[in-house]
Structure 1
Amino acid sequence: MDVSGSAPPAQYEGVWRFTAPATEESVPQARRAVRDLLGRQGVPADRDLVYALLLIVSELVTNSVRHAALLSPEVAVEVAIDRAWVRVAVEDNHPYRPKALEADFGQTGGRGLLLVREITREAGGVCDVEHTSTGGKVIWAALPHAGNAPAHPAHAANPAHPTHPARPV
C-alpha cells in the first residue's frame, strides 16, 4: 500500500489510445491492437471476455468507418483498464448520435449497436454514447474482468476522464 492507504496500481492498469484512418482496413487492425494490448499487459481476462471486447471494438470501428468517415477521416480507439474493468471506446468527429436498432430480421445490417448493447449487458457491463467537447461522439463499453467488480458501474459514464479514480473504466 502507498501512503494514501490505497493499493498501488496493478501492472496491467492504464489507458492506451491510438488512432487509425476511417477505412475498412482499420477494423481488423484495431481488433488486433486491442487483443495484443490485453495480452501484453497481462489483463486477467478469460477467453469469453476477450472475444466480447474484440467484437465490440469491431462493431464500433465499423460503425465509425461506415457512417462517420465523411466528417471524420480518423477514428480513435481507447482502452482503459483498472483492477476490475476494461473499457473500450471509439471516438469520431461526426456529431450524429446513433441509436441501437431493434431486431428486424428482414434487415441484413444496422444492428451493430444492438449487438454491442447485448454483449455488454450479458457480460455485466455498461455502454453509452456521448458527445465530445469537439462536437463528435464517443461510444464506449465497460466490462468487468475480475470478481471484485461492482454489479453496476454507476460512474463509468464519463469518457472525458478515463483515469478518474472514482469511476471504473
Structure 2
Amino acid sequence: MSGRDDTLPLRHVLTVPTVPASVRLVRETAEMTFAEWGIGASHPAVGPALLVLSELVTNSVRHAAVTSASLTVTFASGTSALALAVHDRHPYHPGICAVPGDDRGGLAAVAEVTASSGGTCVVRRDADGGGKAVWITLPL
C-alpha cells in the first residue's frame, strides 16, 4: 500500500476532548463507521483495529491531556486496507512503534497486535515538533 489518499477513498475524521469518556466514543464511532463501509463486526480486522484504537486513545488521554485538550482520530479504508490514526499535540515522540516483545508500555501492545494482524505501525511527528500521530494499517 502506498499510503496515498486515492488508495483509501473512505475517510472519517473525529476530534474529541482528551478525556477518558472519549475512549468509548471513539470505539463506538469506529464500529459504526466500519459497518457503514461494509466492514462488519465479524471481519478479522475489526477486533484488532478496535483494540489498537482503544489503546492509542487511552495513551493520549493518560499522557497528552496536559498539553493537548483534544485528539483527532482518522479512519480510512480502501479495498485492501484499513488505516487508523490517533493524533495529539503532546510534544513527546516515542520514535518508531515498539517491536513485538518490547516492554515499553502501550505502544508495545499496539505493535504486537498490529504485527500479529499483518499490519504496520508508524509514528509521525508534526512538522512543528509539537505533536504526533500514530498510524496503523491493517490488511482487509
Look up the equivalent residue of 2:118 and give its one-letter code: G
How far did 1:35 drift?
A: 0.8
For 2:123, the equivalent position in structure 1 comes to 129
After superposition, the Cα gap between the structure-2 partners of 1:86 and 1:64, relative to the gap in structure 1 and judged at 3 Å, is: same
> Which has more helix, going by share of residues?
2
Structure of higher CA gyration radius: 1
How far did 1:128 drift?
A: 1.2
Structure 2: which 5+ residue stretches go unaligned?
Answer: 1-5
User: How high is the TM-score relative to the length of structure 2?
Assistant: 0.84
Q: Secondary structure at the match of 1:124?
A: coil
For 2:31, the equivalent position in structure 1 comes to 35
Q: Secondary structure at the match of 1:133?
A: coil
Counterpart-to-counterpart distance in 2, 1:85 and 1:25: 28
Within the candidate set 23, 39, 59, 1:63 is matched to 59
Counterpart-to-counterpart distance in 1, 2:118 and 2:34: 19
5 Å matches for 1:1-150?
Answer: 13-43=9-39, 46-98=42-94, 100=98, 102-103=102-103, 111-134=105-128, 135-145=130-140
* Number of residue pairs aligned between Structure 1 and Structure 2: 130
5 Å matches for 1:147-158?
Answer: none
Bigger drift between 45-54 and 122-131 goes to 45-54
Say what the alpha-carbon RMSD is for the aligned residues: 2.3
Counterpart-to-counterpart distance in 2, 1:67 and 1:77: 16
Kept in 1: contact 2:56–2:86 (CA 8 A): yes
Kept in 1: contact 2:90–2:132 (CA 8 A): yes
Look up the equivalent residue of 1:102 and give its one-letter code: D
User: How high is the TM-score relative to the length of structure 1?
Assistant: 0.70
Kept in 2: contact 1:13–1:83 (CA 8 A): no
Structure 1: which 5+ residue stretches go unaligned?
Answer: 1-8, 104-109, 146-169
> Which has more strand, going by share of residues?
2
How far did 1:44 drift?
A: 6.7
Look up the equivalent residue of 1:132 and give its one-letter code: D
Look up the equivalent residue of 2:30 and give its one-letter code: V
Counterpart-to-counterpart distance in 1, 2:40 and 2:57: 24
